[in-house]
Amino acid sequence: MNAQAISTLTYSSDAVSGAAPALLAVRQLRLTDFRNYRQLRLECGQEPVVLVGANGAGKTNLLEALSFLAPGRGLRRARLDDVCRRGRGDEPSAAGWAAAATLDTPEGRLAIGTGLEAGRSESSTPRRAVRIDGRPMQSQTALGQHVAAVWLTPQLDRLFLDGATERRRFLDRLVTALHPQHAGDVAAYENAQRQRSRLLGEGNRDPHWFTALEDTMARHGVALAAARADTVQRLDAAARLGVGPFPRASLAMAGEVDGWIATMPAIDVEDRLRSELAASRLRDGEAGTTSCGPHRSDLAVRHLDLDLPAAEGSTGQQKAVLVSIALAHARLVSLSRGRPPLLLLDEIAAHLDEERRRALFDEVVALGVQSWMTGTDAQLFAPLRGRAQILRVADGSITAV
């Protein structure tokens, strides 16, 4: 549904007690022509935020807007022009879209704005604009210096069953929270990989082009693989502790390049990857793929309490492992960077039993994380009353509960 009026809500944090102050918190969120929101201004405290309402009311759209405060394609991985509010005839807004926020950070108040620039040519590739404290940024990767956002959505319930691509994307969000430059390394590697694949598909055999692209892939590929290895090693130690009724988990990287990283200096791994890429040009051209590189790595997760791979557990057990990893990661980021990530939990309570719901809520409050949670049943969030901001979303408008 399209909201036709400006929706504004100011929430007083004086009404909430018992929560540790967040070191990273959205204090004001402003949306323009974003999904079903024509105009929205939401002001809130530092505490966890609960969004309740019917399916389709716009709860997940708010989480998606928050996810754009960090580098990447957002919670839904949508095309930039698909995020625009749809008008009559299902046409996207010609003015583009914008999401802006004022945040509390360890360095003080920070203003972030991002969105699809208005008036761009239909033939041009949509480009995401980013401003920090009013200054235009060259790249969205600058956001990673200030904000990390990690999310769990119903779509991730199949994370351990689906292909390795989704697990790498999930992992790369966790890595970026600890290594802000990681998003830039991933983007540079993937861009060079696409160009190399295109040239191979066209039958181009100019060695100068391939040498340059493979050098880029080697440098950024080894950097991103090393960042993954560091994050997984540290996260594995944290996840092995478990959180209350949530299971202990182990994490490890699985892949050819990951094996090299574990046993060789980084400079030697770069040389090895360059050599492998050069030697596989003909084979990769015929197969239409890139046979070697960190894009073929996988994240292996094990449910330690059951002593089996996470993929072999029940749906509920897999969900519990995923939440356990997210909480361990939030603790790790808070200790390592002095600020927690924004934790976006879509429809999180419906698939947890009462004991685990209470444990999740208690941990979020204890961590001081400004977690944004959604659900259709406000009663499931009853243990958070007095400790969180509970808001009702209906047809693009927001009211306090």
pLDDT digits 0-9 by tens, 35-81? 999 999 999 999 999 999 999 999 999 999 999 999 999 999 999 98
Alpha-carbon distance 123 to 400, whole Å?
43
Residues near 278 by Cβ (< 8 Å), separated by ≥ 6?
210, 211, 214
Q: What is the pLDDT of residue 368?
A: 86
Phi and psi, residue 237, nearest 5°: -65, -40
Q: What percentage of the chain reaches a pLDDT higher than 70?
A: 90
Q: Compute the average pLDDT of residues 341-366.
A: 93
Closest CA to 235 of 252, 257, 259, 258: 252
For residues 272 and 264, is the Cβ–Cβ distance under 8 A?
A: yes
pLDDT digits 0-9 by tens, 116-130? 976 554 546 678 999
Angle at 396 between CA 395 and CA 400, to 5 degrees: 95
CB atoms within 10 A of CB 177: 26
- Measured between alpha carbons, how far apart are the two ends of the chain, in Å? 22
Q: Which CATH superfamily is domain 160-337 in?
A: RecF/RecN/SMC, N-terminal domain (1.20.1050.90)
Q: What is the pTM of this model?
A: 0.90
Tokens of 10: 């100011």
Q: Which of 151-155, 322-326, 348-352 has the lowest mean pLDDT?
A: 348-352
Q: How far is CA 69 from the centre of its chain?
A: 10
Q: What is the pLDDT of residue 2?
A: 36
CATH 3.40.50.300 residue ranges in the chain? Answer: 1-148+341-401
Q: Between 3.40.50.300, 1.10.1060.10, 3.20.20.20, 3.30.70.260, what CATH number should domain 1-148+341-401 receive? A: 3.40.50.300
Residues 210-216: contacts with CB under 8 Å, at least 24 apart: 210/277, 210/278, 210/281, 211/278, 214/274, 214/277, 214/278, 215/274, 216/188, 216/189, 216/192
Strand ranges across the sheet with 298-303: 249-254, 298-303, 308-309
Q: Compute the average pLDDT of residues 307-320.
A: 95
Strand partners, 101: 29, 112
3-state secondary structure of 113: strand
Strand ranges across the sheet with 389-394: 149-152, 342-345, 371-375, 49-52, 389-394, 397-400
Element (DSSP H or E) covering residue 175: helix 164-178
CATH 1.20.1050.90 residue ranges in the chain? Answer: 160-337
The CA R_g of the chain, rounded to the nearest whole Å, is 22
